[in-house]
């Protein structure tokens, strides 16, 4: 998978070189290009923004800089992503869908956003998605891109040690994942739930399922509406 990021803060994307992502890069599973938007400016001040038509606070990023940058970095067959708090929600489903893309370009806006015509123009030739991490405002798209790239990259074969592990993740079945334990069996007066040491795989599986259901009902009840629930799940929730 090839990923490109266009940003005015290339150093902000430094973490993509670290740890698991860095390893995925050195193994050739992902190839990441970071591009400085200012390379496409044409004035001595390298300005990327200007005041908004119609007034209002903040600055808007210039189409005359973004246009040539996207022309150079984004091929027509890539998926082009604009991180924005006004976007559609980024979810595990989005990450899974994107993990099947050979090529994604992320366009990081700062300030009050990018001139809308940049996005409208790009839609004329590439597949474009505007996505948000959640209902809060970040200063710019860079941290959002770090989050999205990590969520996608860990789904690629060979990035995680254990390929089983993401099938059991929170959200892969639409529910939150319950608690985990390791040795020692007793620690600071707190015991591991005995059923986990029973060796009875069927009862362990059913206990884990119930922990997931309970946690989801407590913390994210709205997720239960779209999760696939068995008759046994329903019965547990009703008690
Ligand atoms: Cl994708 N960008 C910005 N600037 N703020 C956000 C966001 C994205 N998602 C949530 N807040």
pLDDT score of 52: 96
Q: State the greatest distance between any 2 C-alpha atoms of the chain, in Å, as a whole number.
A: 71
In this predicted structure, the answer to whether residue 32 has a pLDDT above a threshold of 80 is yes
Q: How far is CA 122 from CA 107, 153, 191, 193, 199, in A?
A: 11, 25, 57, 54, 56
The answer to whether 99 touches 154, Cβ cutoff 8 Å, is: no
pLDDT band for position 168 (50/70/90)? Answer: low
pTM: 0.94
Find the mean pLDDT for residues 117-143: 97
Please report the atom of ligand 1 found closest to the CA of residue 148: 1
Ligand 1 centroid distance, CA of 158 (Å)? 29
Interval 198-222 mean pLDDT = 98
Strand partners, 36: 7
pLDDT, mean of residues 200-219:
98
Which H or E element spans position 113?
Answer: none
- Check whether 172 has a pLDDT greater than 60: yes
22 is in an annotated binding site: no
CB under 8 Å, gap of 24 or more: what pairs does 198-206 form? 206/232
If you measure from the C-alpha of residue 157 to the centroid of ligand 1, how many angstroms do you get, rounded to a whole number? 28
CB 145 within 8 A of CB 5: yes
Catalytic machinery residues: 85, 112, 154, 169
Q: Is residue 227 within 8 Å of residue 173, measured between CB atoms?
A: yes
């Amino acid at each position: 998978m090839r990923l490109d990021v266009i940003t005015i803060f290339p150093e902000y994307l430094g973490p993509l070189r670290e740890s698991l992502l860095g390893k995925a890069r050195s193994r050739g599973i992902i190839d990441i290009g970071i591009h400085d938007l200012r390379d496409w400016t044409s004035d001595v001040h390298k300005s990327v923004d200007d005041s908004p038509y119609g007034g209002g606070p903040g600055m808007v990023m210039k189409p005359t800089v973004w246009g040539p940058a996207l022309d150079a970095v984004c091929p027509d067959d890539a998926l082009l992503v604009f991180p924005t708090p006004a976007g559609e929600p980024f979810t595990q489903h989005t990450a899974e869908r994107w993990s099947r893309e050979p090529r994604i370009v992320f366009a990081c806006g700062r300030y009050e956003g990018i001139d809308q015509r940049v996005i409208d123009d790009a839609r004329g030739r590439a597949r474009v998605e505007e996505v948000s991490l959640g209902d809060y405002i970040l200063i710019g798209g860079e941290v959002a891109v770090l989050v999205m790239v990590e969520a996608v990259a860990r789904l690629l074969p060979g990035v995680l040690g254990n390929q089983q592990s993401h099938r059991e993740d929170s959200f892969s079945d639409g529910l939150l994942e319950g608690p985990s334990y390791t040795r020692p069996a007793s620690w600071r007066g707190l015991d591991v739930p005995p059923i986990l040491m029973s060796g009875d795989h069927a009862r362990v599986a059913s206990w884990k399922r119930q922990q997931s259901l309970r946690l989801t009902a407590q913390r994210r009840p709205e997720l239960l509406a779209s999760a696939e629930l068995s008759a046994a799940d329903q019965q547990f929730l009703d008690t």
